[in-house]
Amino acid sequence: MKLSAFGQKFSGNAGITVLMDDITNALSSDRDTIMMGGGNPANIPQIEAIMQQRLQILSSNPAAVRQLLGSYDPAQGNMALIDALAELFSKKLGWPVTRHNIALTNGSQSAFFMLFNMLAGEFDDGSYKQIQLPMVPEYIGYADAGIGDNLFIAAHPLIDELEQRQFKYRVKFDDLHIGPNTGAICVSRPTNPTGNVITDDEVEQLDALAQNHNVPLIIDGAYGLPFPGLIYTPASPFWNDNTIVCLSLSKFGLPGARTGIVVANEETIKTLSGINTIINLASGSFGAALTTDMIASGEIIDLSQNVVRPAYEAQLAFAQTTLQQVMDPTIPYAIHKPEGTMFMWLWFKGMPISSQELYERLKQEGVIVVSGHNFFVGIKDDWQHQHECIRINYAAQNPERIAQGLKLIAQAVGQAYLG
């Protein structure tokens, strides 16, 4: 079978597909593999119990089951959920939004595919625009989301080296070049893979740049505010008519529901809904069936703040303590200041092997992580720093498995440095 350019691009070895293939192969093999590479959220018993109760109530209501399984939602998404979201954002966050400012998608990954190709790529005047990432590393799922090539351009970050073996990336505004070939600015907050949370001041500066150049600012809040609230440092939700905020129900505990939420101006929502109709016909209804009333009541924010976030913070504290115990103190390693998400981002300064080689060695030992070089989307040079980092998911396994995985990582790193 001969593939088109589109078919060749999307059947290649993209970082996100390699990661998902490794996860699939590990899960389907007989080997006992410690999964610390993917982005699967933690299983939080209290959230699972709430969802199980909701499923039981739903299944006992024939009309609700018929609506869930037997009817298409509109292209924009389930309107009951959209209205509940509009009220929540308006009352709790003060955002001036209505139902015309919100669309639902089959997960935020599909939302980004549509948004990126709406706003960048080839234009009918012959120009080619790109998505500007204010800094890398950034989400691995962005890298191959463009129909065309070279859809992203990124700036190097400033690196603040902190006490207690920590460091933090900051936006290097002098490195940002917004111009006629910029289609949009996009940043995740908090950032997958590093757990970085750009400050309110950085958000406001990016917003000013976007408005001055008449391009939208996209904020990927899949881990952020107002839900699931996996932010462990002071930060304020942000939206205006020039901002596109993308949210998700996945990290709240519903990754299988594939429910993405886009908040934007009316023109963007109308265009996005049209594209969604062509690609998907309609978005799934499962997430709406389970969460509309808890969003309408604001319960989702209470659960995010009082159940979901504390569960992840406890897992983070355990992982940090364990890492300090198992890692050879002579190894020059540092952890990105953990301000959000479910990941630890480790930097092994001057490591004699690449992060990809470390990944391969760990896979042989039965531990799946992610090599850091996959996250440096849109930079043109072969920056050595990108080959010295790995991402670890500290939430997808029980504490004993996390401890075992960190011990194996420490051993492999020690062997790489010391032989």
Q: pLDDT digits over 232-259, tens only?
A: 999 999 999 999 999 999 999 999 889 9
Give how far Cα 400 sits from Cα of 115, 315, 409, Å.
40, 11, 14
Domain ranges of the chain: 5-46+303-418, 73-299
pLDDT in tens, 51-68: 999 999 988 888 888 888
CATH 3.40.640.10 is held by the domain 73-299 = yes
Which CATH code fits 5-46+303-418? 3.90.1150.10
pLDDT in tens, 303-349: 999 999 999 999 999 999 999 999 999 999 999 999 999 999 999 99
**Which of 1-10, 177-186, 287-296, 309-318 has the lowest average pLDDT?**
1-10
Sign of CA dihedral 254, 280, 102, 60: negative
**Which of 25-29, 114-118, 149-153, 318-322 has the lowest average pLDDT?**
25-29
Residue 220: beta bridge partners? Answer: 188, 246
Mean pLDDT of 372-382: 93
Rg (CA), the chain: 21
CA distance linking residue 293 with residue 383, whole number of Å: 48
Name the pLDDT band for 25 (thresholds 50, 70, 90).
Answer: low
